[in-house]
Structure 1
Amino acid sequence: MAYNDCSTSEKERSDASDGNNEDGSRADRTARSPGDVQCEVCNTQPSKYRCPGCEARSCSLACSTEHKSATGCSGKRKRTAFVPLSEFGEGHLVSDYNFLEEAAQLAESAQRSRQRASSMQGAQTAAVRQMQHQARLRNMDWRAAPPGSEARQLNSSCYDAHKRRLMWRVTWRFEGADYSVMDEKLDEQTKLADALAHHLKLHSGQAQKHALLKEYVEAGPQQLTLLFKQENRPAASSGEVYLRLMPNHTLRLALVQKTVLEYPVILVLLPREVPKYDVLMPGEQRFAAV
């Protein structure tokens, strides 16, 4: 009788244990080694890996990749997600430490970027004021384009304190040939004819330029007409009006009493092209019609 009672008692304990295992299989899943759980993707092989992002089990790189593709999981642990203290381990501590270090580095980088931007903005503001001041001393009206505009970014004009001269970016536009060349820093004491002659010199390997500028080269700098667009016109005026520049004048003299938007753009015309443009005569002034 005692033997039968003992057997019954062990059977009941065994059944109870099986029941607890069945109900608690999900709860103790993470406590078991990876090989004790099947891959949740193929369901055929023992798992070897655990997804840091969602704890899903996988057996290979292929299954891990398929899991990310099917679920949209990033595969990365949510670094700001709450972790109960009972589950907090050394891996979480290292991850949190790295997270704080990265945050500090980003903050420092942002601060350095702001300082650089502020420094660059200060240097640009100083350069603009210097150009305006030097232009006023030369009886010119120099105006800067809005920050970030193409003209502002392209302009290489500056004041050379050592030479005490303005160095201009100048665009030479050959209207009839639809061709333009630039001087990045042309000394203001350079004569227009000399600067233009430099661009009319053709060298070997410049067949396209030779074909485009052939008529201008044959005419020569003294026979070409140089025009500068009048910028400070009355608001009610219509059409573009140009001022004639003298080839034997220096760039500094040519820009006296003129408004320059960032850098001079000089039109180079053949004699037959001049009638197409509205050119002011020396001393002539135009006023808006009332």
Structure 2
Amino acid sequence: MAEQEGPESPRRSSGGRKMSLQSLLCVKKHKLALSCNGVRDKTAFVSVNDFTDLNLLSDYRFLEDVGRTADAAARHPTVHSPATKKLLYCLRNKARRCNIDLRTLPIGFTKRRENSTTFNCMEKKFYWHLKLVFPHCHAEYTLKGVPDDKTLADILKPYIDPVESDPVVCQRLKIYTVSPQSDVQILMKIENRKQNSIR
């Protein structure tokens, strides 16, 4: 027979309620009497004094499950409308006509979600999403809506030009601003390159 927990009764957890359970019959009675489904409530409050390593592990696994569920939902094809696919198809076609090999990542990738590159049909111009990485200063800046006719020199002026750059940015990128422009190299990352291929 199941009875509420007494001072000397053994502690067992069943469905979020502490009970002294001695047999299968007790379990069934407990579930009927208290409308318990036998599944522990993962979001139930646990005081700091009662918090154990098992509670920590349970919370960690719960957060992992939530993360997996959110990621799976973001990757699901029904979330992405046909209009988005049509825009992407048009963007690829315009790039192909301009002799640009534009490649897109599959749905769910962070880079694809962050990318804001667009094509303006009226101006017949690409507006690129750029990421500037300054490895010697461990600095990274993201630019959105950069027109395709803007030169690299103009793009970098607000960052490494000693006169026109922002003072805060200039201080952070000091190694670049004090160096002669001939010493500053601009490199573009090569995507999809085989590991052992010769540059």
TM tier relative to shorter chain: 0.5 to 0.7
One-letter amino acid of the counterpart of residue 188, structure 1: D
**Does the CA contact (< 8 Å) of 1:174 and 1:180 recur in 2?**
yes
Equivalences, count: 125
| Map of 1:217 onto structure 2 | 177
- Displacement after TM superposition at 1:229 (Å): 2.1
Q: In structure 2, the residue corresponding to 1:166 is in which secondary structure?
A: strand
Question: Which structure is richer in relative contact order (CA contacts within 8 A, separation 6 or more)?
Answer: 1
Matched, 1:144 2:104: yes
**Change beyond 3 A, Cα 1:193–1:128:** same
Q: How does 1:56-75 map to 2 (within 5 A)?
A: 71-73=33-35
Distance in 2 (CA, whole Å) between partners of 1:182 and 1:71 is 60
Q: Deviations over 1:58-77 (max 9, x none)?
A: xxxxxxxxxxxx95448xxx
One-letter amino acid of the counterpart of residue 125, structure 1: K
| Map of 2:196 onto structure 1 | 238
Q: Equivalent of 1:173, from 133, 154, 159? A: 133
Q: How does 1:16-165 map to 2 (within 5 A)?
A: 71-73=33-35, 120-165=80-125
| Map of 2:150 onto structure 1 | 190
Q: Deviations over 1:110-153 (max 9, x none)?
A: xxxxxxx7584212211221221111112111100010110110
**Change beyond 3 A, Cα 1:159–1:222:** farther
**Change beyond 3 A, Cα 1:195–1:185:** same
Matched, 1:202 2:166: yes
- Displacement after TM superposition at 1:162 (Å): 2.1
**Does the CA contact (< 8 Å) of 2:137 and 2:175 recur in 1?**
no
> RMSD over aligned Cα, in angstroms?
2.8
- Displacement after TM superposition at 1:210 (Å): 3.9
| Map of 2:23 onto structure 1 | none
**Change beyond 3 A, Cα 1:220–1:193:** farther
Stretches of structure 1 that go unaligned for 5 or more consecutive residues are: 1-69, 75-116, 242-290
Greater C-alpha Rg: 1
**Does the CA contact (< 8 Å) of 1:169 and 1:185 recur in 2?**
yes
Q: Deviations over 1:176-221 (max 9, x none)?
A: 1111111111000001100111233123xx3xx4443002112365
| Map of 2:6 onto structure 1 | none
**Does the CA contact (< 8 Å) of 1:196 and 1:221 recur in 2?**
no
**Does the CA contact (< 8 Å) of 2:119 and 2:125 recur in 1?**
yes
Q: In structure 1, the residue corresponding to 2:93 is in which secondary structure?
A: helix
**Does the CA contact (< 8 Å) of 2:125 and 2:148 recur in 1?**
yes
**Does the CA contact (< 8 Å) of 2:117 and 2:145 recur in 1?**
yes
One-letter amino acid of the counterpart of residue 160, structure 1: N
Distance in 2 (CA, whole Å) between partners of 1:146 and 1:119 is 14
**Does the CA contact (< 8 Å) of 2:159 and 2:173 recur in 1?**
no
- Displacement after TM superposition at 1:232 (Å): 4.7
- Displacement after TM superposition at 1:172 (Å): 0.6
Distance in 2 (CA, whole Å) between partners of 1:146 and 1:220 is 41
One-letter amino acid of the counterpart of residue 189, structure 1: D
Distance in 2 (CA, whole Å) between partners of 1:220 and 1:123 is 48
Distance in 2 (CA, whole Å) between partners of 1:123 and 1:221 is 45
Q: In structure 2, the residue corresponding to 1:225 is in which secondary structure?
A: coil
**Does the CA contact (< 8 Å) of 1:167 and 1:186 recur in 2?**
yes
Of all paired residues, the percent bearing the same amino acid is 20
